[in-house]
A = this chain, B = another copy of it.
Amino acid sequence: MSEHVMLEHGGRVRAAAQRYGIPENDWLDLSTGINPNGWPVPAVPQEIWQHLPQDDDELHAAAQNYYGTSRLLAVAGSQAAIQALPRLRPPARVALVAPSYAEHAHAWLRHGHQVMPMSAAEILDIGDSVQVAVIVNPNNPSGRLFHRDELLRLHERLVARGGWFIVHEASMDAAPEHSLAAVSPQAGLVVLRSVGKFFGLAGARVGFVLAEQKLLHALAALLGPWPIAAPSRYATTLALRDSAWQQQTRQALAQAAQRLSGLLTRHGLPPDGGCGLFQWVCCSDAVRVHQQLAQRGILTRLFEQPHSVRFGLPRDETQWARLTAALSELQR
């Protein structure tokens, strides 16, 4: 992929390895919000690799059951929907929370829309000139959780003027009671989900768009046949059905999040927000904290506006111990 189209994602361990002179395999990567103990994928049968993906396999049924809604479309990660949705409307004024996941603004700008970055408080009170609002819930990196009622009020105002309300629930699976999935489909409501974070299947490139059938038809036509690899459909179907794993994982993530928050607090880095998959720490010396951890081979995600560091979850006790030791050695 050419560099000029890529926002800053991934490949971060490789870059850090070069910058800090530490071999790639020696890093503890806490720079993502991906569950480090993802759903364990079994070997994929050869016939799944062999044949074209079948749209009438069991993926949609498994997803309908998991998300609790009848109308959805499987796409090649929520990224595919983020790129396609701006192509399905004439130029509009689009309100987005900033900072947040940057691909949303990038995609709307690219297709001639006017993007209005605003705070979480502002977006809940947007004026009549806005046709589309995009919220990541819980937001990333802040972890700020919008409540269903405030989101539904915002949706109501947007749909009254023929607008769309897009809520990207990338990290919602750890606390699904806050999701709008179960109230979907509704006119003008678009909920984006994926199996990248909670299920730890970011490599599979499977996401879902929950929306009205008319919008899903238009999206499907735009995306064309076979956007998702057959092994990814296979693995995702099984993961979505594994409710025992999901329940254990929700508990484990809640405990891990609490543990990470406590650990950071004890080391002078009390989180300003977070969710089941990451903790977010604002501090004026964020660069220094990020660099000192990197010098010990621990990669976090650094943000500049505001100065902050995001911590993903360690995978096991060895990784917890390594993070604890590095935090103890911080010089600020």
State the Cβ distance, A94 to closest chain B Cβ, in Å. Answer: 18
**B38 contacts A46, CB within 8 Å?**
yes
State the Cβ distance, A186 to closest chain B Cβ, in Å. Answer: 19
> In the bound complex, how far is the Cα of B53 from the Cα of A203, in angstroms?
5
> In the bound complex, how far is the Cα of B10 from the Cα of A226, in angstroms?
10
Residues in B neighbouring A20, C-beta threshold 8 A: none
Residues in B neighbouring A80, C-beta threshold 8 A: 224
> In the bound complex, how far is the Cα of B227 from the Cα of A77, in angstroms?
9
**A229 contacts B226, CB within 8 Å?**
no
CB of A201 within 8 Å of the partner chain: yes
Task: Known contacts A10-B54, A231-B44; decide if A2 and B217 are in contact (CB<8 Å).
Answer: yes
Number of interface residues of A (CB under 8 A): 57
CB of A332 within 8 Å of the partner chain: no
**B11 contacts A56, CB within 8 Å?**
yes
CB of A220 within 8 Å of the partner chain: yes
CB within 8 A of A2: which of B34, B216, B228?
B216
**B220 contacts A2, CB within 8 Å?**
yes
> In the bound complex, how far is the Cα of B229 from the Cα of A41, in angstroms?
14
CB of A48 within 8 Å of the partner chain: yes
**B204 contacts A229, CB within 8 Å?**
yes
Task: Please give me the residue from chain B that is nearest to A39 by CB atom.
Answer: B49
Interface residues of A in 197-235 (CB under 8 A from B): 200-205, 216-217, 220-221, 224-232, 235
Residues in B neighbouring A11, C-beta threshold 8 A: 54-56
Task: Please give me the residue from chain B that is nearest to A224 by CB atom.
Answer: B83
CB of A40 within 8 Å of the partner chain: yes
Residues in B neighbouring A51, C-beta threshold 8 A: 10, 32, 34, 202-203
**B229 contacts A6, CB within 8 Å?**
no
Interface residues of A in 4-19 (CB under 8 A from B): 4-7, 9-11, 14
**A217 contacts B9, CB within 8 Å?**
no
Task: Please give me the residue from chain B that is nearest to A315 by CB atom.
Answer: B50
> In the bound complex, how far is the Cα of B303 from the Cα of A44, in angstroms?
33
Q: What are 5 A-B contacts defined by CB distance under 8 Å?
A: A2-B217, A50-B202, A103-B225, A204-B229, A228-B229
